[in-house]
Structure 1
């Protein structure tokens, strides 16, 4: 392949958001979109877990564990729904969701729950107290900021949310 043909091929890949067939380009915009997707699932799971744990009168540990499990559940479910809509069988869609979201959700949950754990009195705040909602919102924002570069890195290697983009063509 001569230099002109190779340059034309590179321009074609860049115009279609791909690099050497690895999937979408690892732009900050793509990383932000992927992280917002994970943040949505995590936030739904976190809030639902905290509300349920509080309603059941559970302590901090079981409530936090429920919130983490639900964050993963909703994060995976949102991805699974989109991939299934693309006509993929359930087993493949489930594997895609695991590949796309596991690292992102894990980092987000580690940061989110770590912030709540070290924030004075946040673990003891009730749903009716502003501290509960302020600390939760701040922890999710910080988790978003930390997770976005992680998603950019994985997308750039054809992993993480890059796996999902193959099914959104």
Structure 2
């Protein structure tokens, strides 16, 4: 599966109110606690990969994210599986993986047309919006790029364009902030 995703920094109120008026469906609020791991044999920061355990309201999920496929979005192959978060962490640590960082955020999720829109309040970083679309059977790069284009058309209604896209991960931002 490919997760086609664009992240922007913006206050939530305007877009959220507009989406509600447009008939978006509120899916819920999640308290997400993400623990990221690095490999004993390669540095995921250098290979543009991610391995994390996400704990959402007490439910665990293991996610592997492959390399991003373009420079304007966060589109990449992604694989997810439900897990017992504590047990999976112990397995990864026993295999030599190590914790590289953590990100905590509150996400309000809305569904609108083909998009999932997450209004993120990230601890220590502030407010962001992520617009996502999952392409389970993407057979071509053209299909993926068309979906990226649709997301930017949607964001254009709010005065946002490719130049506003943030491809840096929350983890990278948190780690950079900790260095200062």
Coarse TM-score class (shorter-chain normalised): under 0.3
Which has the larger share of strand?
2
Which has the larger share of helix?
1
Q: Select the structure of larger CA radius of gyration.
A: 1
TM-score between the two structures when normalised by the length of structure 1:
0.24
